[in-house]
């Protein structure tokens, strides 16, 4: 029985103060459920609306390439500075301490190392995402690839159905192939395909006229880092993306292959969250390295 000792009647009911209607701070999210919003709010900082995601999922296709040789040594020390960790279930379980309490964006499709091709029609069991307490799941979409576009969209579609069932946001990752033109027309199409098929977050690449890509995508976009650039160029990339409407970055090699990865992720965070210019970001990087 509840403790009935000294029960005090409520007095202050705020009559005359209407209950405030709350609008969610990320675009395209107003009509999604509470659990999905809560997970989105774990990924995108509520004070800035932005996210610095650390991507180390590429080992599933590329193996222990530079920066990923030892997740415990290369990635774990960076985790405190990331807003979200993007990895595969094997590496998350084996190498990431659960006590970090960092949101996970879980890679939910799989690939083969041959030509780094996606292994279509194989996606994660959503129950495993729940077991891992994933804050989001990510699948790749190969827009415009004749042989594989439909299969990757089917993967996304299935994952969105699962994600909707349990309130787990889905990230659509737009692929870039050798034959694909990296321009705003292509990335707008690919991003929009992800969003229209139900993705709550889109990961795509920065390009000229990027504001067209973000403007025409109804959900938050984060940019991929791509191949390692000199630090100032990677900071410029992050700066340009945020200025052109991105809600964050999801960078891998530009962090983990830096000479000072911990300094680099903090400098990127300064650009994304604190409005540092690339030059100020570089100063921060140099101070911390």
Catalytic residues: 203
26 belongs to the binding site for ligand 5RP (CB under 6 A): no
| Contact yes or no for 118/142 (Cβ under 8 A) | yes
Closest CB 190 distance from ligand 5RP, rounded Å: 13
Site size with ligand 5RP, rule: CB under 6 A: 14
User: Considering only residues 252, 270, 278, 281, which one is a binding residue for ligand 5RP as defined by CB under 6 A?
Assistant: 252
Site for ligand 5RP, residues 175 to 214, rule: CB under 6 A? 203
Region near ligand 5RP per CB under 6 A, out of 36-44, 50-58, 77-85, 194-202: 50-58
Q: What CA–CA distance (Å, rounded) separates 124 from 137?
A: 9
Q: What CA–CA distance (Å, rounded) separates 118 from 226?
A: 18
Burial (CB count <10 Å: 0-12, 13-18, 19+), residue 24: middle
User: In sequence order, what are the beta bridge partners of 221?
Assistant: 202
Region near ligand 5RP per CB under 6 A, out of 28-36, 148-156, 219-227, 264-272: 219-227
Tokens 């390009």 belong to residue = 207
Classified as helix, coil or strand, 80 is: helix
User: Considering only residues 103, 163, 220, 225, which one is a binding residue for ligand 5RP as defined by CB under 6 A?
Assistant: 225
235 belongs to the binding site for ligand 5RP (CB under 6 A): no
User: Considering only residues 251, 264, 267, 268, which one is a binding residue for ligand 5RP as defined by CB under 6 A?
Assistant: 251
User: Considering only residues 58, 89, 192, 284, which one is a binding residue for ligand 5RP as defined by CB under 6 A?
Assistant: 58
Terminal Cα-to-Cα distance of the chain (whole angstroms): 59
45 belongs to the binding site for ligand 5RP (CB under 6 A): no
Site mask for ligand 5RP (CB under 6 A), range 73-102, x = bound: -------------x----------------
Closest CB 140 distance from ligand 5RP, rounded Å: 5
Site mask for ligand 5RP (CB under 6 A), range 101-140, x = bound: ---------------------------------------x
User: Toward ligand 5RP, which CB reaches closer, 252 or 278?
Assistant: 252
Give the list of residues 6+ apart from residue 236 with CB closer than 8 angstroms, or none: 278
Tokens 């799941």 belong to residue = 137
Q: Which two tokens stand for residue 44?
A: 């995108």
User: In sequence order, what are the beta bridge partners of 84?
Assistant: 53
Burial (CB count <10 Å: 0-12, 13-18, 19+), residue 68: buried
Q: Which two tokens stand for residue 73?
A: 């040594």
Helix (H) or strand (E) holding 87: strand 84-87
User: Considering only residues 37, 120, 192, 253, which one is a binding residue for ligand 5RP as defined by CB under 6 A?
Assistant: 253
Binding site for ligand 5RP (CB under 6 A): 55, 57-58, 86, 140, 173, 203, 224-226, 251-254
């Amino acid at each position: 029985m509840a403790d009935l000792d000294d029960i005090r009647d409520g007095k202050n009911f705020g009559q005359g103060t209407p209950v405030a209607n709350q609008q969610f701070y990320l675009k395209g999210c107003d009509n999604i459920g509470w659990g999905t919003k809560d997970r989105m709010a774990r990924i995108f900082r509520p004070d800035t609306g932005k996210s610095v995601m650390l991507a180390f999922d590429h080992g599933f296709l590329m193996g222990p390439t530079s920066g990923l040789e030892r997740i415990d040594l290369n990635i774990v020390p960076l985790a405190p500075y990331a807003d979200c960790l993007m990895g595969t279930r094997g590496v998350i379980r084996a190498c990431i301490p659960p006590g970090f309490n960092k949101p996970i964006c879980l890679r939910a499709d799989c690939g083969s190392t041959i030509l780094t091709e996606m292994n279509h029609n194989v996606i994660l069991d959503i129950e495993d995402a729940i077991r891992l307490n994933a804050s989001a799941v990510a699948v790749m979409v190969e827009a415009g690839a004749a042989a594989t576009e439909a299969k990757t969209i089917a993967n996304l579609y299935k994952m969105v159905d699962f994600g909707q069932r349990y309130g787990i946001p889905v990230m659509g990752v737009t692929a870039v192939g050798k034959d694909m033109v990296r321009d705003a027309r292509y990335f707008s199409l690919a991003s929009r395909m992800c969003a229209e098929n139900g993705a709550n977050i889109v990961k795509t690449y920065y390009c000229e006229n990027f504001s067209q890509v973000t403007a025409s995508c109804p959900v938050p976009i984060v940019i991929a880092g791509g191949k390692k650039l000199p630090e100032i160029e990677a900071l410029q990339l992050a700066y340009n993306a945020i200025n052109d409407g991105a809600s964050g970055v999801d960078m891998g090699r530009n962090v983990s292959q830096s000479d000072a990865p911990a300094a680099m992720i903090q400098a990127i965070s300064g650009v994304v969250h604190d409005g540092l210019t690339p030059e100020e970001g570089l100063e921060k990087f140099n101070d911390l390295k």
